[in-house]
Chain A
Amino acid sequence: MNFLQDFATYLEFQSAELIQATIEHAGLVLVSIAIATVIGVGLGVAVYQTDRPAKISLAVVGTMLTIPSFALFGLLTEPFGLGATAAVIALVMYGLLPIVRNTVVGLRSVDPAVIESATGMGMNRWQRLARIELPLAWPIIITGVRVSTVITVGIAAIAAIINGPGLGKDIFRALARIGSPFAVYQALAPVLGIIFLGILFDVFFLVLRRLTTSRGLR
């Protein structure tokens, strides 16, 4: 019981800073995901009708996910310096794969008969995309965004290593003083914050998906 009491005292003492860090963390993730969504959906739309460009794009964004996060954050400081910019770029790179893949899969899963009748009714390429294909692929695309977000919430903690914002800072501080009684609390609090954010975003996107999907598709 002692541990929990002490931890509670710690949280109380640090609450203002923790809340501030959680908000920063959420902001970092949301900005990155917004950019990743624009790029990812755009890329998906550009390549879904073709075979090789689609495969190449997916291979490239897939490879990005395999770069160890420490290394990527480190590499990006060379052109972009320390701070939020490099952090956002790294997170966008990590967030792309699920979004691009689901955009391609979603657009390809639209019933060919639906596309043929849209064409036969006199809709041009863009009308078809905007009014038929994207709305039909939307539930799948938004699921990709959701997966991306949850991945990014965790990886964003590493951004602290290049002086990025968010909950990672406390984790690195705790690592610096392993052995001291505070270290555990100092690491545990941001981890709980990250889990909380992960669940929050997950629920947020589930609700958003439900609200933005036509009743005819449910």
Chain B
Amino acid sequence: MTDETNARGAQGDNQVMIRLERLEKRYPGQERPAVAELTMEIPEGEIVILVGPSGCGKTTTLKMINRVIEPTSGRILLEGDDVTNADPDKLRRRMGYVIQQIGLFPHMTIAQNIALVPGLLNWDKRRIDLRVDELLDLVGMDPSDYRNRYPKELSGGQRQRVGVARALSADPPVMLMDEPFGAIDPITRDRLQNEFLRLQEEIKKTIVFVTHDIDEAIKMGDRIAILREESSIAQYDKPEHILSNPADSFVEDFIGRGASLKGLNLQRVRDVEFAHWPTANHTATRGEVLEALRRSDQGAVLLLDEQRRPRRWVDARDLDRTDKPLVETGLRPEAIVTGATTLLDTLNEMLKSRVACAIVADDSGAYVGAVDIDTIMESIQSMRAAAREQSRLLAGAEIGEVSS
């Protein structure tokens, strides 16, 4: 792979938003540079992940983009303009910035936190107020409830959402995120990651995202740059290519064993075929439900409400019980996912609720179909088969080289 294709992360179809040219950072008194001559292009509208072992210079690289750390040499181009020597404060107002500790201003309300950058840019007050409410809505927090609260009154996950809203406040084209979900418990982190991906589908920002967690990188990234010491690029490519075709043994070690299983983080529910279960309206009579059950080869019927939202699983045994209305018998449907959920999260949902089948619902919560554990197992098997095939081909190629 030549340096130039490495810098591009294999054919970018989008315009280049940020270009780093031979960017270098040396600290006085240290022999080796923290970042050595990094050249890299970040395409517009994508999430680019910088991932690597600790101390590889990924955070330094990120912080040189908005010049919170000033590069020793090299150039930074934003939308084609050389901003290496531009006014750093003006540059930073064009880039949202989210750090792991979030750094909300504790003496300001949530609204004041979000309004700060628009205020620096002299927006008028009405426009700022509208923007604050719009952003709180966007990150799923009711403005009338949260506008006047202080950061200490929020949970970690809520603070994270406000941090993202604050970074988006002046609608910057670029977002820089340094381990933004690093300090959050795994369950909340998962939810925030999913929310953020959904948000990105709407806002289409150019995002540079630093993490040390390869699983997070695979889940979040449109493109992943795996970095080794001095921030040198080991591989810069789409996640599926990195998983199926690691550039060298460093990348292989970094993505670890079970790379095929990690592929579950890439596949989403909408990519697989749904299973279909018999359904009935929750006001249906026992006779109607029994009829629906008989007509299918499944063991249970899913009761839906008027908006087709799942209410209850009932099976033949529940139908025999007459002491309670039908909707109060059976099981509450728990594992509910959407088309955008990854298969790994779907599997997690199943394990959490101890059922072998997850219900797929659309954005309004209406039933679309179901994914069962067999579907996920099939996906794993086909991924493993593909990986075996790949390594056989590679081994074959090596033998071929030796014999020729």
Which A residues lie within 8 Å of B120 (CB)? Answer: 121-123, 127
Contact digits for A139-178, partner B, Cβ 8 Å, 1 yes 0 no = 0000000000000000000000000000000000000000
Known: A114-B106, A117-B97, A132-B105. A122 touches B117 (CB 8 A): yes
Q: Would you call A217 an interface residue if the criterion is a C-beta within 8 Å of the partner chain's C-beta atoms?
A: yes
In the complex, which of the residues B68, B109, B163 contacts A116, with contact meaning CB atoms closer than 8 Å?
A: B68
Which A residues lie within 8 Å of B320 (CB)? Answer: none
> Count the A residues whose beta carbon is within 8 Å of the partner chain — how many?
22
When the two chains form their complex, are residues B97 and A121 in contact, meaning their CB atoms are under 8 A apart? Answer: yes
> Which of A116, A121, A214 counts the most chain B CB atoms within 10 A?
A121
Which A residues lie within 8 Å of B152 (CB)? Answer: 216
When the two chains form their complex, are residues B92 and A119 in contact, meaning their CB atoms are under 8 A apart? Answer: yes
**Bound CA span A216–B153, Å:** 8
Name the distance in Å between B90's Cβ and chain A's nearest Cβ: 7
When the two chains form their complex, are residues A111 and B101 in contact, meaning their CB atoms are under 8 A apart? Answer: yes
Name the distance in Å between B307's Cβ and chain A's nearest Cβ: 40
In the complex, which of the residues A122, A123, A214 contacts B108, with contact meaning CB atoms closer than 8 Å?
A: A214
In the complex, which of the residues A113, A127, A135, A216 contacts B103, with contact meaning CB atoms closer than 8 Å?
A: A113
In the complex, which of the residues B90, B97, B107, B109 contacts A120, with contact meaning CB atoms closer than 8 Å?
A: B97
When the two chains form their complex, are residues A119 and B68 in contact, meaning their CB atoms are under 8 A apart? Answer: yes
Known: A214-B108, A216-B150. A122 touches B101 (CB 8 A): no
Which B residues lie within 8 Å of A114 (CB)? Answer: 103-106
**Bound CA span A138–B186, Å:** 36
**Bound CA span A214–B113, Å:** 13
When the two chains form their complex, are residues A122 and B89 in contact, meaning their CB atoms are under 8 A apart? Answer: yes
When the two chains form their complex, are residues B107 and A113 in contact, meaning their CB atoms are under 8 A apart? Answer: no
Q: Would you call A50 an interface residue if the criterion is a C-beta within 8 Å of the partner chain's C-beta atoms?
A: no
Which B residues lie within 8 Å of A52 (CB)? Answer: none
Which B residues lie within 8 Å of A118 (CB)? Answer: 103, 105
Name the distance in Å between B112's Cβ and chain A's nearest Cβ: 9
Q: Would you call B136 an interface residue if the criterion is a C-beta within 8 Å of the partner chain's C-beta atoms?
A: no
**Bound CA span A123–B119, Å:** 11
Q: Would you call B57 an interface residue if the criterion is a C-beta within 8 Å of the partner chain's C-beta atoms?
A: no
In the complex, which of the residues B88, B100, B106 contacts A136, with contact meaning CB atoms closer than 8 Å?
A: B106
When the two chains form their complex, are residues A117 and B102 in contact, meaning their CB atoms are under 8 A apart? Answer: yes
When the two chains form their complex, are residues A122 and B150 in contact, meaning their CB atoms are under 8 A apart? Answer: no
Which B residues lie within 8 Å of A135 (CB)? Answer: 107
> Count the B residues whose beta carbon is within 8 Å of the partner chain — how many?
30
When the two chains form their complex, are residues B89 and A123 in contact, meaning their CB atoms are under 8 A apart? Answer: yes
Which A residues lie within 8 Å of B9 (CB)? Answer: none
Q: Would you call A124 an interface residue if the criterion is a C-beta within 8 Å of the partner chain's C-beta atoms?
A: yes
When the two chains form their complex, are residues A136 and B107 in contact, meaning their CB atoms are under 8 A apart? Answer: yes
**Bound CA span A117–B102, Å:** 7
> Which of A118, A214, A216 counts the most chain B CB atoms within 10 A?
A216
In the complex, which of the residues B68, B92, B102 contacts A113, with contact meaning CB atoms closer than 8 Å?
A: B102
**Bound CA span A91–B211, Å:** 55
Which B residues lie within 8 Å of A131 (CB)? Answer: 116
When the two chains form their complex, are residues B89 and A215 in contact, meaning their CB atoms are under 8 A apart? Answer: no
Known: A121-B92, A122-B92, A122-B120. A216 touches B97 (CB 8 A): no
**Bound CA span A131–B117, Å:** 12
**Bound CA span A4–B278, Å:** 97
Which A residues lie within 8 Å of B90 (CB)? Answer: 122
Q: Would you call B346 an interface residue if the criterion is a C-beta within 8 Å of the partner chain's C-beta atoms?
A: no
- Least CB separation from A215: chain B residue: B150
**Bound CA span A29–B138, Å:** 54
Which A residues lie within 8 Å of B108 (CB)? Answer: 214, 216
- Least CB separation from A121: chain B residue: B117
Which A residues lie within 8 Å of B117 (CB)? Answer: 121-122
Which B residues lie within 8 Å of A119 (CB)? Answer: 68, 92
- Within residues 79 to 108 of chain B, which ones have a CB less than 8 A from any CB in chain A? 88-93, 95, 97, 99-108
Which A residues lie within 8 Å of B99 (CB)? Answer: 113, 116-117, 120
When the two chains form their complex, are residues B89 and A113 in contact, meaning their CB atoms are under 8 A apart? Answer: no
Which A residues lie within 8 Å of B89 (CB)? Answer: 122-124
**Bound CA span A214–B89, Å:** 27
Which B residues lie within 8 Å of A217 (CB)? Answer: 106-107
Q: Would you call B330 an interface residue if the criterion is a C-beta within 8 Å of the partner chain's C-beta atoms?
A: no
When the two chains form their complex, are residues B150 and A121 in contact, meaning their CB atoms are under 8 A apart? Answer: no
Name the distance in Å between A39's Cβ and chain B's nearest Cβ: 25
Which A residues lie within 8 Å of B160 (CB)? Answer: none
- Least CB separation from A217: chain B residue: B107
- Within residues 16 to 68 of chain B, which ones have a CB less than 8 A from any CB in chain A? 66, 68
Which A residues lie within 8 Å of B150 (CB)? Answer: 214-216
**Bound CA span A114–B108, Å:** 12
Which A residues lie within 8 Å of B239 (CB)? Answer: none
- Least CB separation from B109: chain A residue: A216
> Which of B88, B103, B166 counts the most chain A CB atoms within 10 A?
B103
Which B residues lie within 8 Å of A136 (CB)? Answer: 105-107
In the complex, which of the residues B91, B102, B151 contacts A216, with contact meaning CB atoms closer than 8 Å?
A: B151
> Which of A114, A117, A123, A215 counts the most chain B CB atoms within 10 A?
A117
Q: What are 14 A-B interface contacts by the 8 Å CB criterion?
A: A118-B103, A119-B68, A120-B66, A120-B92, A120-B97, A120-B176, A121-B93, A121-B117, A121-B120, A122-B89, A122-B92, A123-B120, A136-B105, A216-B150
Given A122-B92, A216-B152, output 5 extra A-B contacts at Cβ < 8 Å.
Answer: A111-B101, A113-B100, A118-B103, A122-B90, A216-B150
